[in-house]
Structure 1
Amino acid sequence: MILIVDDTPENLTSLKKVLERHNFEVDTASSGEEALKKVLKTAYVLIILDVQMPGMDGFEVAEAIAGYSKARETAIIFLSAANTELSFITKGYSSGGLDYITKPVDINILLLKVKTFYRIYEQSRKLIEVQKTLLEEIEFRKRAERKKDEFISIASHELKTPLTSVKGYVQLLERSVDKGDIPTVKKHLKKAQLQLDKLNNLIADLLDISKIESGKLKFNKKYFNLNTLLDGIVEVIHQSNPEFTITKTGHVPVDIFADEMRIEQVIVNFLTNAIKYAPGTTEVHIKVTVENERVTVAVRDFGIGIQPEQQKNVFDKFYRVEETSIHFQGLGIGLYISAEIIERHGGTVGVNSTLGEGSEFYFNIPLISTTETA
Structure 2
Amino acid sequence: MDRSAPIYLDYQATTPLDPEARAAMLPFLEERFGNPHSEHVFGWEAAEPVDNARRAVAELIGASPGEIILTGGATEANNLSLIGAARRTERRHFLVSAIEHKSVLAPAAALAEQGFEVETIPVMSDGVIDLECLARLIRPDTALVSVMAANNEIGTLQPLAEVSGLCADRGVLFHTDAAQLAGKQPIDVAALGIDLLSLSAHKIYGPKGIGALYIASNARSQIAPIFYGGGQQDGMRAGTLAPMLCAGLAAAAEKALTQQAVDEAHAKALKTRLLNRLREGLLDIQVNGSEGHSLSGCLNICIPGIDAHGLLMMLQAELAASVGSACNAGLIEPSYVLAAIGLSADEARASLRLGFGRFTSFDEIDQAAALICEKAVRLSHTYAAE
TM-score clears 0.5:
no
* TM-score for both structures, normalised by structure 1: 0.22
Structure with max Cα Rg: 1
Of structures 1 and 2, the one with the larger relative CO (CA 8 A, separation 6+) is: 2
Name whichever structure is richer in helix by fraction: 1
* TM-score for both structures, normalised by structure 2: 0.22
